[in-house]
Structure 1
Amino acid sequence: MQITASTVSLTVDDVAASQRFFTTHLGYVEQAAAEGFASLARSDAALDVVLLARGTEVLPADQRDRHASGLILAFTATGIEAEEERLRAEGVEITMPLREEPWGERLFQVTDPNGVIVQFVEWVTPSAPANA
């Protein structure tokens, strides 16, 4: 098997709202769309995103009423400080401000109109312990 692309499929209440968020603020472009469906991609190595309306009949019956929750869509990127500033300037609510973890992970989060959490991560050399 050879994997040629990676896609996450998110079931949301308002496909158009998430589609606008991803295309307006996160650089995605529409690949295909229909009632209750949108396929989004970027030209870089980012994960493709498919948005499906909750309740759509193309999903198996036991999956139709689930909502994308309890997951974090995380993107490893460079220059996330500038990215956070850009998103804030565009009016996007930063739901977790930029912070650095002791193991060298810098991250911040935004949340789309359907509650999809998007996290941006940048890896840096961890700071030396204070008593080193």
Structure 2
Amino acid sequence: MIEPKSSFPVFIVKDLGAAKSFYTENLGFDVVFAGDWYIHLVSSTGVQVGFMLPEQPTQPPVFQKPHSGEGVIFSLEVEDADAAFAAAKSKSLKITLELRSEDWGQRHFCIQDPNGVYLDIVQSFEPTEEYQSDYVSK
């Protein structure tokens, strides 16, 4: 069995500078690696994300094309979705889903970064009775 010790997404994007600015200035990430073709960011709580330029000769063909913006959601859990939403609005971030509460136990909103990556900013809470049985407890 493969037993991961941590995880991070890597998005293949056209503009590393825009990614660096967006995540450091708006989401509090710090740069821990910055090459010409790849940057790696880490938050103060240990959340990691990488960004790589397309068409890198060292990468296999499956890692060559830039992210299209569809089919992936990068979720970031926060303590207070209302405060995060107010911060996103005050910074004029591109909000793609207004703040709302979901019966399955999330208060969230979505933003889109300059490279088209969708971020779901999530605060968890107790789900309604209808959804409580869907959760698996260990």
Q: TM-score band, normalised by the shorter chain?
A: 0.7 to 0.9
Q: What is aligned with 1:28?
A: 29
> Is 2:58 aligned against 1:58?
yes
CA distance in 1, matches of 2:116, 2:9: 15
- Structure 1 vs Structure 2 CA RMSD: 2.0
Q: What is aligned with 2:124?
A: 123
Change over 3 Å in CA distance of 1:104–1:4 after alignment to 2: closer
CA distance in 2, matches of 1:114, 1:121: 21
Structure with higher helix content: 2
Gaps of 5+ in 1: none
Structure 1 window deviating more from structure 2 (26-35 vs 68-77): it is 68-77
Structure 1 window deviating more from structure 2 (62-71 vs 5-14): it is 62-71
Is this contact kept in 1: 2:53–2:66, CA < 8 A? no
Shift of 1:2: 5.6
Displacement over 6 Å in runs of 4+: none
Q: What is aligned with 1:76?
A: 77
**TM-score (norm: length of structure 1):** 0.86
The one-letter code sitting in structure 1 at the alignment partner of 2:60 is P
| 1:36-115 aligned within 5 A | 36-46=37-47, 48-67=48-67, 69=69, 70-115=71-116
Is this contact kept in 1: 2:14–2:66, CA < 8 A? no
Gaps of 5+ in 2: 131-138
Shift of 1:71: 0.2
Report SS of the residue matched to 2:23.
Answer: helix
